[in-house]
Structure 1
Amino acid sequence: MMKVLLAALVSGACALIAPSMMGARRVAPVARSTTEETEGPATDDAAYGASHTSFYTTAEKQESYDALEYILKEKCKDEKLSTVVNEMLDAVARITEALRTALVTVEGSANTFGDVQLTVDVIADEIMWETCRNSAVVLEGASEEEPEIKECNPDGQFVVCWDPLDGSSIVDNNWAVGTIVGIWDKATGLIGATGRDQVTSIVALYGPRTTVLVALDDGVYEFTYGAEGQEADWICSRARVKISPDCKIFAPANMRAAQDLPGYKELLDHYMENRYTLRYSGGLVPDVYQQFTKQQGVFSNPTSPASPAKLRLAFEAAPFGNLVEKAGGLTSDGVSGGSVLDVVINAVDQRTALCIGSTNEVERFNEMICMIE
């Protein structure tokens, strides 16, 4: 069965690439009429037959799209928070432009974890640090490349943690990678806080287009950078995105752990035997981000003694967890079965197991891996 899974992994990756090669549609000038995405995918099992294993967007072309500034004015009542969101998206725009021209080469250095740093890692990290140090509202910053909290502005309000370019092992293949940002208020700080204390989180996906998910007052919004024909740099491409409780898409990380965890092997077999669609690239950002575009999905990354947890709680799991739960999904810490947002952050570089996505599938993971009845 594991050989079948690996074979499906290859074919699934190829299928993932094809839709992204379709030409972009021209859109109309910015206005104020963004459509909410509140309906999940069809749940009729007949729709998931062997001849229907691809999932396409349900977003329909609109005559106009709201600009970032308008959405923040309406959906982010905290002016300081609106400022930091604007600043983070400005940084993402700069990273986007840098990635278009930068070669992927070894920088000749390593981060705190001993990972080889690539030129693009360093560029993205420098842009994030420059943004935070020039901000009037960022009190402290911490980068996954150098997990140490550093002061940016003594009069600032927020603690910002980021993974500047998640997916360094696949960026040389020109696959989609991303930036992950978690933001805490100075009232809680980072150490001793939880992911639930975040005031917002942001995830950017760099692919054929650059899109960003942002947690705002009433849900999760997606913004697209530099859309053709738009007057604004950022337009709202999806409003109040929802993740369905059911899914037929799975992204299984850390499959080595299946050799140590019988429950994980059984779970992977369940996905294959029930003809779930495999969509896994090995990059956390694209593999979880698809849950918002497809409005369904589950990403699993359990831990075992021989295959320990690799995901960083503050830099990766907590920011994504905040977005997924605000969109109606569920998260698991992979051990107790509780939400990853309730795990106390005791160290900047703290690691965690993770399952995240459609509620019913995360609950299945808890039953089979965490033995939660």
Structure 2
Amino acid sequence: MKRLIPVLKNDGVETDLIMLIRTILATSKEIAFRVGQGELAGVLGSTLDENIQGEVQKKLDVIANQLLKDMLLEEDSVAAIASEEEDHAVPGNPDGRYIVAFDPLDGSSNIDVNGQIGTIFTIYAKRDDVPHDSDEQFVQAGIKQLCAGYVLYGPSTLLVMSTGGPTRCYTLDLTHGGFLLTTPEMTVAHESKEFAVNMANYRYWHETIQTYFDNVLYASQAFEKSSMRWSAAMVGDIHRILSRGGTFLYPEDKRAGNDNGKIRLLYEANPLSMLIENAGGQASARGQRILTIEPHSLHQRVAVVMGSSSAVAFFNRTVYES
């Protein structure tokens, strides 16, 4: 099996970007160790604080966020970072070439029950038209991502990443501490009967979305033998889709603040869309390709449907073109 660095070099990735990716992954190994220790390390449970999203922070959220901040801000190549847990962009080296955004622990509600969680990250080139420490550094469409990936903490620690080419999967080899290439090219099946959605939100959905899921679950022969999978961690659901097909859906609803969706564009939707598209799938928000959305704020949210292209296209036709 090939090691990560030779694969990146063979893909033509610049040395500075390779070194930055190595820093992110070194931090992810430390997070993986803390996750594996669980209660033994005293990292379970919640803090008394809320993050910028209005969510109660888990202890491990705070630890993972601080680890990534500390490691990335030591990198000369990093001009600024943005985290789901931070109010604003955090400045790094004014002369740095890159900016990095991350969700330190996606699916943190699963921490205390030993469920699926992961770190999502994305890297862009620094903008030269705005100050290096400005939130506007991150006001870039997803198609400008240089690298996107996630580290999934589970029975094995997996890295799924694309630097513009194929979406590849690597497995952390605990014997030498490096990531080894285990799936050279992940491919999302064109069609699939599996879907991931939080059905508890049915009561809040608009009628066209409710009708779509009524057909999926009960009525339409086109969806015969459909099965729902929901892990309460987007990173886990997307990994399953990359591995065997399916669709992840988190549409907009009628609740205050959710009229444009709930998934964070910068920290979740853009990097995961890049991985899905580079594996042959599709990703859209209210019928628009997610990677073409021009963002307007650091913590912007969007509605999401991504995965098997046939299912995504059918959802968009049914909900937005009917």
Report the CA distance between 1:251 and its aligned residue: 0.3
Aligned letter for 2:207? P
User: 2:106 matched to which residue of 1?
Assistant: 166
Within the candidate set 86, 92, 100, 2:28 is matched to 92
Report the CA distance between 1:232 and its aligned residue: 5.3
Give the RMSD, CA atoms, in angstroms.
Answer: 1.8
User: 1:201 matched to which residue of 2?
Assistant: 148
Distance (Å, rounded) in 2 between the aligned partners of 1:98 and 1:76: 33
User: 1:238 matched to which residue of 2?
Assistant: 183
User: 2:170 matched to which residue of 1?
Assistant: 223
> Would you say 1:302 and 2:254 are equivalent positions?
no
Which residues in structure 2 correspond to 1:259-338 (within 5 Å)? 259-273=204-218, 274-294=224-244, 296-306=245-255, 308=258, 309-333=261-285, 335=286, 337-338=287-288
Residues 217 and 340 of structure 1, relative CA distance in 2, 3 Å threshold: closer
User: Which stretch shifts more, 93-102 or 187-196?
Assistant: 187-196
Higher relative contact order (CA 8 A, sep 6+): 1
SS of 1:247's equivalent in the other structure is: coil
Residues 254 and 316 of structure 1, relative CA distance in 2, 3 Å threshold: farther
SS of 1:108's equivalent in the other structure is: strand
The one-character-per-residue Cα deviations of 1:124-176 (angstroms, maximum 9, x if unpaired) are 00111011111121111011001411211222111101110011212111101
Distance (Å, rounded) in 2 between the aligned partners of 1:80 and 1:167: 30
> Would you say 1:110 and 2:59 are equivalent positions?
no
User: 1:133 matched to which residue of 2?
Assistant: 73
Report the CA distance between 1:91 and its aligned residue: 1.2
SS of 1:234's equivalent in the other structure is: strand
> Would you say 1:83 and 2:19 are equivalent positions?
yes
SS of 2:33's equivalent in the other structure is: helix
User: 1:120 matched to which residue of 2?
Assistant: 60
SS of 1:345's equivalent in the other structure is: coil
- Structure 2 residue runs of 5 or longer lacking an equivalent are 129-135, 219-223
Aligned letter for 1:301? Y
Distance (Å, rounded) in 1 between the aligned partners of 2:138 and 2:5: 32
Report the CA distance between 1:254 and its aligned residue: 6.0
Residues 125 and 191 of structure 1, relative CA distance in 2, 3 Å threshold: closer
How many correspondences in the alignment?
A: 303
> Would you say 1:148 and 2:60 are equivalent positions?
no
Report the CA distance between 1:112 and its aligned residue: 1.8
Aligned letter for 1:87? T
The one-character-per-residue Cα deviations of 1:17-60 (angstroms, maximum 9, x if unpaired) are xxxxxxxxxxxxxxxxxxxxxxxxxxxxxxxxxxxxxxxxxxxx
Q: TM-score, normalised by structure 1?
A: 0.77
Report the CA distance between 1:262 and its aligned residue: 2.3
SS of 2:71's equivalent in the other structure is: helix
Aligned structure 1 segments of 4 or more residues deviating by more than 3 angstroms:
187-192, 257-260
Identity %: 27
Q: TM-score, normalised by structure 2?
A: 0.89
Distance (Å, rounded) in 2 between the aligned partners of 1:217 and 1:142: 21
Distance (Å, rounded) in 2 between the aligned partners of 1:190 and 1:142: 10
Aligned letter for 1:98? R
SS of 1:109's equivalent in the other structure is: strand
SS of 1:172's equivalent in the other structure is: helix
Distance (Å, rounded) in 1 between the aligned partners of 2:52 and 2:176: 42
